Amino acid sequence: MGKTVNDPSQTLPSGEPEKHQGVFDQIMNSMRRQKDFPTFYQHVVEINETISSSYSSASEIANVILKDYSLTKKLLTLVNSAFYGHHRDGVCTVSEAVILVGLNQVQMAVAGLMLFEQMQQTSHTMELKDSSIQAFISGLIAREISRKLHQKETEAACVCAMFHNLGKHMALFYLPDQHAEVMEYAKAYKVDLQQASRAVLGLRYEDLGIGVAKTLGLPPKITTSMKSFEGKERKIMETNPLQAVAHLSNLLCETAIEPSKARREKAFQKIEGDFGLSREFIFELYADVWEKASKYSKIFNINLEDSPLLARFAKNVVIQDDALLKDSEYVVITGEFYDIVTKGIADITKILLEDSYELNSILSMVLEIMYRGFGFSRVLICIFDFKSNRIVARFGLGDNIKEFMENFSFIVSSSQDFFNLALHQSKAIYIKNINDPPEDVTIPDWYRRTVKALEAMVYPIIINEKKIGLFYADRKTKRTDFSENQMEYMHILCNQAALAIKQKGR
């Protein structure tokens, strides 16, 4: 016989059930009122009942999955991908997938695919979209942790991590006003979201997620992985690695997207101490996840385009060894250049995720966005020629650019001119007035002779502590000074170019 799905009132944690039940009922009722949710709910329950039954055969399990064409297609794509390891002849049927991959793995995969499909269809705000992307990235981090530590249930670790914060996502979608109160409470009283949600809602997000998962009949491995275990990290890593990895991967994702460099550093130090991981191990994880994100996002139907969260992830931890990073909050810009710059950054992010791009095309895109978006007279990307020890112009846009590039070259030295200072100090330099530079910066003679500009910017390209080149931009006439927002987005564009160079150099 099939498994009977728990009554909602029996799925909540013990202790003060009257406080829990009101919020839980409100969310479950809201879920059932969604236009397509009743069908989705019934199908999830039916699949989990069938898979959990000890009497079900591979063909019976296949029949219930085959009712959903989209799910069938995604499951077979996933099973045949590198996610599970390629089978030589390919898996063509759901029955074969059940036999080859295993019943438990199919149940976990189906849970992930179906719930993420629902999350994507209902993510009508950027915050909801980024919540699902955060869950996806956490899942990939968990998969890489499990793989690197040679744990057995690599794919299960991925799915458990994806649903570790299910309660928060449910509140964000179904109780947005109360979720905003939870966020405000956490910020005001400097507590985590579990404490804040208990204070505001009467139950922790963790308990809410467990309740929803049990109601849907999801595997016990998923519900167990949602439980916290503060202070027992290394012990849980040994006794229940799925639970530990689900928690750790979400911590690593939250840390990666934290805007403040100081808070990131503090979080990394705590993770290193609690779990015994090295910083090198952690950043290798981030690099591996970045490379795999695009490939697996298509299978899980995760749309990675135009995501501020993904931009922060790349900026903070993928190119963290480049000195182009700026310790500041992630900003949103407004003004006349908004569409050109922000759409350009989103387009480049999408191309970088594909990893099939031409490097010169990316560099040309970056230059065009700078030129059109910020109103420069000229923009250049210059490369360090190791043999001659010179910086030479490679690509450019703007006034008389061909002649300008022919004369734009200098020797890398210990000079205090603003080009060499930018390279040696690994920082961007902005000269508001070439005729009145700061006291600690000089303007080289070759530049004064050949360049007619009023203001100029130099952004070094430093990868793995090596000088690769620089971006140069100038204006012939004075406009308003560059704002902090504009400077930040110049940094992001330069970071994207550095990442493109770095990825192609591997």
Q: Model confidence over 452-476: pLDDT tens digits?
A: 888 999 999 998 888 999 999 998 8
| Predicted local confidence at residue 231, as pLDDT | 73
| Predicted local confidence at residue 51, as pLDDT | 63
Question: In the chain, pLDDT over 90 holds for what percent of residues?
Answer: 24
pTM (predicted TM-score): 0.60
Name the amino acid, one letter, at 304: L
Across the beta sheet with 466-475, the strand order is: 409-411, 390-398, 378-385, 466-475, 455-463, 429-431
- Which contiguous run of DSSP H or E holds residue 409? strand 409-411
Beta strand 390-398 pairing with 378-385: antiparallel
Of residues 213 and 57, the one with the higher pLDDT is: 213
CATH superfamily, with its number, for domain 338-501: GAF domain (3.30.450.40)
Tell me which residue of 217, 213, 269, 279 sits closest to 246, measured CA to CA.
213
Residue 296: CB atoms within 10 Å: 19
Q: What whole-number distance in Å separates Cα of residue 468 and Cα of residue 224?
A: 48
| Predicted local confidence at residue 255, as pLDDT | 95
Residue 89: pLDDT over 60: no
| Predicted local confidence at residue 330, as pLDDT | 30
Round the average pLDDT of the chain to a whole number and report it.
79
Residue 10: pLDDT over 60: no
| Predicted local confidence at residue 452, as pLDDT | 86
Name the amino acid, one letter, at 64: V
- Given a contact cutoff of 8 angstroms between Cβ atoms, the answer to whether 203 and 23 are in contact is yes
Domains of the chain by residue range: 338-501
SS3 502: helix
Q: Model confidence over 135-189: pLDDT tens digits?
A: 889 989 998 999 888 887 887 888 889 889 989 988 888 888 899 999 999 999 9
Residue 340: CB atoms within 10 Å: 16
Of residues 323 and 192, the one with the higher pLDDT is: 192
* Bridge partners, 392 (sequence order): 383, 409
| Predicted local confidence at residue 422, as pLDDT | 93
Q: Model confidence over 28-41: pLDDT tens digits?
A: 777 666 654 445 55
Assign 337 a pLDDT band (cuts: 50, 70, 90): low
SS3 430: strand
| Predicted local confidence at residue 170, as pLDDT | 84
DSSP structural state of residue 266: H
Tell me, rounded to whole angstroms, the distance of Cα 152 from its chain centroid: 25
- Given a contact cutoff of 8 angstroms between Cβ atoms, the answer to whether 352 and 291 are in contact is no
Torsion angle (degrees, nearest 10) of CA 286, 291, 295, 300: 10
Residue 57: pLDDT over 70: no
Tell me which residue of 121, 207, 111 sits closest to 162, measured CA to CA.
111
Question: In the chain, pLDDT over 70 holds for what percent of residues?
Answer: 73
Name the amino acid, one letter, at 454: L
CA atoms within 13 Å, Cβ hemisphere of 458: 24
* Bridge partners, 430 (sequence order): 457
Of residues 320 and 368, the one with the higher pLDDT is: 368
* Bridge partners, 424 (sequence order): none
**What are the backbone angles phi and psi of residue 415, rounded to the nearest 5°?**
-60, 155
Task: Find tokens 């991967």 and name the residue.
Answer: 249
Close Cβ partners of 162 (under 8 Å, ≥ 6 residues apart): 112, 116, 135, 136, 138, 139, 142
Lowest average pLDDT, out of 121-130, 243-252, 345-354, 445-454, goes to 121-130
DSSP assignment of 46-102 equals HHHHHHH-TT--HHHHHHHHHT-HHHHHHHHHHHHSTTT---TT---SHHHHHHHH-
Torsion angle (degrees, nearest 10) of CA 297, 303, 305, 310: -60
Tell me, rounded to whole angstroms, the distance of Cα 280 from its chain centroid: 19
